[in-house]
Amino acid sequence: MATASAMSNTTSSAGSQVVSELRTAFKSGKTRSLAWRMSQLDAMKRMLIDQQEQIIDAISADLGKPRFEAFTTEVGFLLSEIEHTQKHLAKWMKPTKVKSAVVVQPASSKIYKEPLGVTLVIGAWNYPLQLALGPAIGAISAGNCVVVKPSEVSPNTSAIIGGLLPQYLDSDCVRVVEGGIPETTDLLEQKWDYIFYTGNGTVGRIIMTAAAKHLTPVTLELGGKSPTIVDETADLKVTARRIIWGKFTNAGQTCVAPDYVLVHQRVHDELIAEFKNAISDFYGDNPKNSSDYGRIINERHWKRLVGLLDSGTITHGGEHDESEKFIEPTIMTEVDGDSAIMAEEIFGPILPVLKVASVDEAIDFVNERPKPLALYVFAKNKARAHQVIQHTSSGGGSINHVWMHLAVPGLPFGGVGESGMGAYHGHHSFDLFSHKKSILDKPTFVDPSVVYPPYGDFKKNVIKRLL
């Protein structure tokens, strides 16, 4: 396994030096050109292609993630994001012309997209490559210098990022800082022009508090309990397959995974049966032996999840093995709304299923809780599906599917309320790391005296008409 080079790695006393060096690079203007931005995106693409097997090895070592899943959700996702960005970047960078008001005529008004400066991206362990480099694509495409801080909870992927990025990208402008709490704390003491964090709300509050000292803007990609509502009109077979796929990908360690299901009581038993069929179809009779099913990141999270298994009746699954950090895909019923498993984001392969008498009851249940990062509704009845979307608040979501909205580059991805603030992906990543600078260009060949004092009645009447 590769280790971070001295160029990429830093100690807790070197954060200020890293920021100072990046500020010098940014002030030189080298990151502003389209050529530099495209060259860095090309370099990251080459890295992902050239080192694909080594990268997947690292991800699999951290999470026991199936290799194909590691490619599709991490390497492949990033390649698609880079290609989309490169295709449109020249257009995104161009100033946007807007109509000038009559009162300022003759004039030209434009919005210039200006890089923010020196930015910090703090990644998360559950998708350790994607969530570290995805935001960095936005920072680079917008012309910024960036420090990437991978999660220390996924040490193999952190090491591979720290070892490879300096080999491919411009180390004057792009750095990697590995380490744990001391290194992150040191970074947060520095003055940044933007901070992007993916993780939990507890650390999110720490990030925001540190940023406030310097009035640094932040994006917080957090999480929460993403609900799934299944109406009695839903196609239950398809619904079950899509929910099971979305829930148990990455062994449930996905911030937008269906956290719990609210199903109409009339179709509850049938849905449970379809859930069991889907699990068997996907992972066989013994998921522990499936090459398509992952593991829990570490012992601490494994023990936390096992402790949730007594929150209701285990209808399917429940087997677990600490030596392999394995928890079988598990369906739970007869779960109380106030139980431990309903009090926190599960972030693992346990799916509580609760009965509701109507869509209205499901909507009330969701609205009584913090706003989730995602919400899913399954219904053939379009009116009921849109009723759910219109009467609940979430960062995003899907109708008759789960978290596939992430695959649409035109859709901003982000939270609301306690599930986060700010959104990215595609053009929204470029915008997030850009300052939209408004510029009025007014010629001097016309300079009417009516705008200047002293203001008599005539001037006042003219100006009032123009406003």
Catalytic residue IDs: 221, 255
**Alpha-carbon Rg for the chain in angstroms:** 25
Cβ proximity of 179 and 155 under 8 Å = no
Residue 75 backbone phi and psi in degrees, to 5: -65, -50
> What residue type is 410 in one-letter code?
G
Q: Which helix (H) or strand (E) holds 329?
A: none
First to last CA, the chain: 67
- Asked if residue 63 lies in contact with residue 253, where contact means CB atoms within 8 angstroms, the answer is yes
Give the three-class secondary structure for 412.
coil
| φ and ψ of 386, to 5 deg | -75, -25
* Helix and strand totals (H; E) in the chain: 16, 20
Cβ-based neighbour number of residue 112 at 10 Å: 14
Q: Which residues pair with 436 in a beta bridge?
A: 113
Two structure tokens written together for 389: 């979307």
Burial class (CB in 10 A: 0-12, 13-18, 19+), 379: buried
Q: What angle do CA 348, 273, 293 make, to 5 degrees?
A: 35
Burial (0-12, 13-18, 19+ Cβ within 10 Å), 346: buried
Tokens for 22, please give them: 């990046």
Ramachandran assignment for 394, one of left (phi > 0), alpha (psi -120 to 50 degrees), beta (any other): beta
How many Cβ atoms sit within 10 Å of the Cβ of residue 444?
5
Measure Cα distances from 360 to 261, 367, 386, 388 in Å. 15, 11, 12, 8
Q: Say which amino acid occupies 18.
A: V
Token pair 């109708």 is at which residue? 399
Which SS3 state, helix, strand or coil, does residue 351 take? strand
| Cβ(176)–Cβ(161) below 8 Å | yes
| Joined tokens for residue 154 | 């996924």
Residue type, 220: L
Residues with Cβ within 8 Å of 457's Cβ and at least 6 positions away in sequence, in order, are none
